[in-house]
């Protein structure tokens, strides 16, 4: 059995459960609920959540009032450590929304700390936001359910853009060069019905990753 580790909020579990239930040979370990030995993971799933805490970002925060009130420095610290483990070992990594921002920061990038027009209520579960994608992108969607108030500004080292918002060029999908599989998306595939291929691709890579099982 392969092990995927994550830090997932309780309120997000209901969205991920239908996707993850399709892979009975994959064990999901939620660090929000219990201690997880990172050395035994076969893949890392970075999920959505509150803003990265100011002490971790690679830039000044002139107006802290624009940030989420429920930031979690303990989660950020764990995720940065998990990212380092995954990248050092060449393990598959799939990052969603806050996870994409965390990955970018971990690689030395910066963020737009507050952007307009990307967190309307109808964007949470409906595929409304048009994208334009690089021809080399493995996964391409015409419209996505993107809901967020922060986004990538300066790219972290090794990241390449795969998709942008067709309206304002906000980065919506990136990949990490020279890594077996590291895909990050700003939209929310766990809340949609057209994104099975993303989870299937990630899990296929996890099945091929190094052996190990958490006791």
Name 161's bridge partners. 174
| pLDDT tens, position by position, 76-119 | 999 999 999 999 999 999 999 999 999 999 999 999 999 988 88
Topology of the domain covering 2-208: Rossmann fold (3.40.50)
Residues 6+ apart with CB under 8 A from 34: none
Are 196 and 16 a contacting pair, CB within 8 Å?
A: no
Could you give the percent of the chain with pLDDT greater than 90? 90
For 71, phi then psi, to 5°, come to: -60, 150
Model pLDDT, residue 211: 53
Model pLDDT, residue 215: 47
Active centre residues (catalytic): 97, 188, 190
Model pLDDT, residue 12: 96
Model pLDDT, residue 118: 87
Please state the domain extents for the chain: 2-208
* Helix or strand (DSSP H, E) at 111: strand 111-112
Model pLDDT, residue 37: 87
Model pLDDT, residue 182: 98
* Helix or strand (DSSP H, E) at 202: helix 196-208
Alpha-carbon distance 90 to 40, whole Å?
A: 13
Alpha-carbon distance 129 to 141, whole Å?
A: 10
Model pLDDT, residue 210: 57
Q: Which residues of the chain have pLDDT under 50?
A: 212, 215
Residues 6+ apart with CB under 8 A from 15: 188, 190, 191
Q: What letter would DSSP give residue 57?
A: S
How much is the mean pLDDT over the chain?
94
Alpha-carbon distance 172 to 192, whole Å?
A: 16
């Amino acid at each position: 059995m392969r092990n995927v580790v994550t830090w997932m909020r309780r309120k997000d579990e209901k969205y991920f459960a239908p996707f993850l239930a399709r892979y009975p040979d994959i064990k999901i370990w939620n660090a929000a609920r219990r201690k997880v030995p990172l050395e035994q993971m076969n893949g890392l799933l970075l999920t959505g959540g509150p803003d990265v805490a100011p002490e971790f970002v690679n830039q000044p925060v002139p107006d802290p009032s624009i940030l989420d009130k429920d930031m979690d420095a303990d989660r950020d610290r764990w995720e940065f450590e998990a990212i380092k483990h995954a990248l050092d070992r060449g393990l598959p990594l799939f990052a969603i929304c806050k996870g994409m921002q965390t990955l970018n920061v971990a690689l030395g990038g910066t963020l737009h700390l507050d952007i307009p027009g990307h967190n309307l209520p109808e964007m949470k579960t409906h595929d409304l936001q048009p994208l334009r994608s690089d021809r080399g992108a493995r996964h391409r969607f015409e419209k996505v359910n993107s809901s967020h108030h922060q986004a990538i500004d300066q790219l972290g080292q090794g990241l390449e853009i795969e998709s942008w918002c067709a309206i304002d060029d906000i980065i919506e999908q990136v990949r990490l060069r020279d890594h077996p599989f590291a895909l990050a998306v700003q939209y929310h595939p766990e809340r949609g019905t057209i994104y099975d291929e993303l989870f299937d691709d990630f899990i296929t890579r996890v099945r091929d990753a190094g052996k190990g099982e958490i006791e």
